[in-house]
Chain A
Amino acid sequence: MDFSTLSDESLLALIARRRPEALEELYRRYSRMVYSLAIRMVAEPSVAEEITLDVFTRVWDKADSYRASRAQVNTWLTRIARNHAIDTLRRQNTRAAHVAGHWTDAEINAIPAKNNPEETTQLQLQRARVRAAVAQLPDNQRQALSLAFFGGYTHHQIAQTLNQPLGTVKTRIRSALKKLRHILSDDE
């Protein structure tokens, strides 16, 4: 069987039947996406590697529970990855706000890399769209969103870190997500 031609969902079905080749193929498609998110959040490569391993180990163990979640497979993977990373960050309790806090122009203006042949064109297009949407946010909204999304900070922690009133922070986050939802839904 040529695993590279199978859909993500078929791969998960085969993973649930303990076919290592299916997991290998899923890893080829999405390890870069998972690792990129993890290392952006935790900064430390060895920790990001552990998170990546945990994500795909969990896929191996829980592939049969995927159908219930209804998310796209790649979404499912990044959710697991982010939850793992937030757990790690909250346990460490020593997040570097300067790492999490700046969603830099360089990041959002980066052209999606073309050097990952396993990653579908569709996924690369999605990257470009999301970056363009984030680029449209005002700086202060982007910064608060970044602390929450990458740093796992709560409203209170963001307010402390930025030395801003709690209400201001709540508004920035809410406004940022509303705007992103609006822009991204237009794209679909």
Chain B
Amino acid sequence: MTLTHEQITELIPAFALDCLDDEETVAVTEHLPGCAACRAELESYQSTVDRLALAVPEVSPPPELQGRLMARVRPAAPVPPPAVPWWQKLAAQLRTTAPVWGAAALLVLLALGVSNLYLRQQLTDLQRPAMVDTMRTVSLRHTQPDSQATGIIIVSTDGEYGALIVEHLYPLPENQQYQLWLIDDNDTRISGAVFSVDDDGYRSVQIEEAPLPLEHYTRFGITVEPAGGSPGPTGQRVLAGSM
């Protein structure tokens, strides 16, 4: 399509608005490099079209859009390493840092375990060589498909003292509590602790004195029981582990 300068000039406003059909768009585009007058005209109309953008009702974008923008443009943060449950770190440290371990260390552990957050802050302090290598630990794994629960049992070498630490167990209604079962090779089940968890599903407790040294028990389970506990497990099992 070949058009005269006069015809092109008539098309410039619509070209600025981007509403010409393809052939006219091409005709104007090819005319522009050779015609300063039409280029000036285009610039002038372009400015008019630009200003139309201001004649719209004002609507604020949702506030979170700015965060989405900044997340897009900021270089991706390094991927954090997979979260290791604090007790695994603790157990690893305790296993490797010292040769001697006894009731004192366990009590320290329990004292620290009063608050999950507080314990995390104290982890570095525990790198002192005063604490333990010779204890035994048993990891407890959740037995329900959608559970995040984890737990660990720590037993002193002499089998006299034990502690249980759990994380991410669902808080229970008031009329229910969790109960730890110590299981020996004859499948005899002895209550090891009756406990509730805090809002984060966390709790650390000392294991009750059992008829036999703790090392005698090779399997452990935690069930949901009526408040105060049961003589034997009756409810749903939520955590389990074995030596």
Contact = CB atoms under 8 A, between A and B. Distances in A.
Nearest to B71: A53
Contacts of A27: 66, 69
A162 interface: no
Nearest to B47: A75
Interface in B36-79: 44-45, 47-62, 65-66, 68-70, 72-74
B75 to A, nearest CB: 9
Nearest to B41: A181
A31 B45 contact: no
B73 A130 contact: no
A31 to B, nearest CB: 5
A154 B54 CA distance: 21
A127 B58 CA distance: 10
B21 interface: yes
Among A103, A123, A127, A178, max chain B CB count under 10 A is at: A127
Given A32-B61, A148-B19, A53 B69 contact: yes
Nearest to B17: A148
A32 B52 contact: no
Interface in A10-41: 20, 23-24, 27-28, 31-33, 35-37, 39-40
A134 B55 contact: yes
Contacts of B14: 148, 155, 170, 173-174, 177
Among B18, B62, B69, max chain A CB count under 10 A is at: B69
Nearest to B64: A49
A52 interface: yes
A9 B129 CA distance: 60
Nearest to A71: B50
A105 interface: no
Interface string A150-178: 00111110100000000000100110011
Among B18, B45, B53, B59, max chain A CB count under 10 A is at: B53
Contacts of B47: 75
Contact of B10 (A32, A75, A174): A174
Contact of B54 (A60, A127, A153): A127
Given A27-B69, A155-B14, A177-B13, A130 B59 contact: no
Nearest to B61: A35
B16 interface: yes
A35 B10 CA distance: 32
Among A33, A130, A145, A156, max chain B CB count under 10 A is at: A130
Contacts of A181: 13, 44-45, 48
A20 B75 CA distance: 10
B25 to A, nearest CB: 9
Interface of A: 20, 23-24, 27-28, 31-33, 35-37, 39-40, 45, 48-49, 52-53, 56-57, 60, 71, 75, 78-79, 81-82, 86, 103, 107-108, 110, 112-113, 116, 123, 126-127, 130-131, 133-134, 145, 148-149, 152-156, 158, 170, 173-174, 177-178, 180-181, 184
Given A56-B73, A184-B51, 18 more contacts: A28-B66, A31-B65, A32-B60, A32-B61, A36-B59, A39-B59, A56-B69, A75-B47, A75-B51, A78-B50, A78-B54, A86-B18, A107-B55, A127-B55, A152-B19, A153-B19, A174-B13, A184-B48
